[in-house]
């Protein structure tokens, strides 16, 4: 992997292929660029493909920051500038999808296209959140309980990854585990669930600052039919539920929806790298 200095720390990244188009692959919590290992070679013959480890994750640095959404967005912005990804096609799942949409909304003249899956398209109520995850995420957002789960027990690596994508091989799980040998190193993993803008029915979304950024990229998605947007769907459904897909069809301009198969877990690039790469290649064809 390569590394580049970013905002007083460093970010590690995979950089393969070349061409006028840069495809940037953004991972989620608690994975790293390793999750794109079967997608990168499928795309690098036709574009420059860049897959960073988000700050605090994978082989990237772990500076003493809050790891709020704004921190990740700032580091991603500086990273893209540092590696010369001037007019990227952004591809992301989970938080990587949200970071992609946030960057696109703040750089509307630079983004060429976006492809997202299993991501947060807008703030959600607890009633809309995947039912099987509500109890876990309420606990993760509870002071003390979240620290026990995410920091002491390493819940995201040891439990959640296997629960959502049971076919992950031990050697790949070891790659995801390596950057988090002790509780202090796992702070970025705990920060993420506390950044999801959620609300009780009729209540205010918290954290409000993240909800505002989600609303901003929602407005961008609705008002930019000239920018191709690809929503990849799979099953069983988590964040990419049929209801959320229906919302996207009604509210996102320039949207194409494509399925990437059934029996695909939340960390979709683990289970469906081929269909994901094929769908992104189709997006590149349309842009060409």
Catalytic residue set: 94, 118, 266
At 90, list the tokens.
């952004």
15 forms bridges with which residues in the sheet? 50
Phi-psi category of 154—alpha, beta or left, where left has phi over 0 and alpha has psi -120 to 50?
left
The full DSSP string for 127-171 is TTS-GGGHHHHHHHTSTTHHIIIIIIS-HIIIIIHHHH-TT--HH
Is residue 73 within 8 A of residue 209, CB to CB? The reply is: no
| Cα dihedral sign, 68-74-78-84 | positive
Nearest CA to 282 out of 47, 16, 38 is that of 47
Rounded to whole angstroms, the Cα distance separating 190 from 151 reads: 7
Question: Which string of DSSP letters, residue by residue, matches 194-223?
Answer: GGS-EE-TTS--BSHHHHHHHHHHHHHHHH
Residue from 207, 210, 191, 190 nearest 199 by CA = 207
């Amino acid at each position: 992997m390569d590394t580049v200095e970013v905002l007083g720390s460093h970010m590690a990244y995979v950089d393969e292929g070349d061409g006028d188009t840069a495809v940037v692959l953004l991972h989620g919590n608690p994975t790293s660029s390793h999750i794109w290992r079967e997608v990168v070679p499928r795309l690098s013959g036709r574009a420059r493909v860049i897959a960073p480890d988000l700050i605090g994750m994978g082989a990237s640095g772990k500076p003493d920051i809050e790891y709020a959404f704004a921190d990740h967005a700032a580091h991603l912005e500086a990273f893209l500038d540092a590696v010369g990804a001037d007019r990227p096609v952004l591809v992301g799942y989970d938080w990587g999808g949200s970071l992609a949409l946030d960057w696109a909304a703040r750089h509307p003249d630079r983004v060429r296209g976006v492809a997202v899956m299993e991501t947060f398209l807008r703030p959600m109520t607890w009633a809309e959140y995947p039912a099987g995850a509500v109890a876990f995420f309420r606990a993760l957002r509870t002071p003390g309980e979240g620290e026990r789960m995410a920091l002491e027990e390493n819940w995201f690596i040891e439990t959640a990854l296997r629960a959502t994508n049971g076919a992950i091989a031990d050697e790949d799980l070891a790659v995801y585990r390596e950057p988090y040998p002790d509780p202090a190193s796992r702070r970025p993993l705990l920060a993420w669930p506390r950044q999801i803008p959620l609300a009780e029915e009729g209540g205010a979304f918290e954290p409000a600052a993240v909800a505002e950024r989600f609303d901003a990229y929602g407005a961008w998605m609705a008002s930019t039919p000239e920018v191709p947007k690809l929503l990849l769907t799979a099953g069983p459904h988590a964040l990419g539920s049929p209801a959320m897909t229906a919302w996207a069809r009604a509210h996102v301009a320039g949207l194409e929806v494509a399925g990437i198969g059934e029996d695909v877990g939340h960390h979709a690039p683990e289970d469906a790298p081929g269909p994901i790469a094929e769908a992104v290649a189709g997006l590149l064809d349309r842009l060409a």
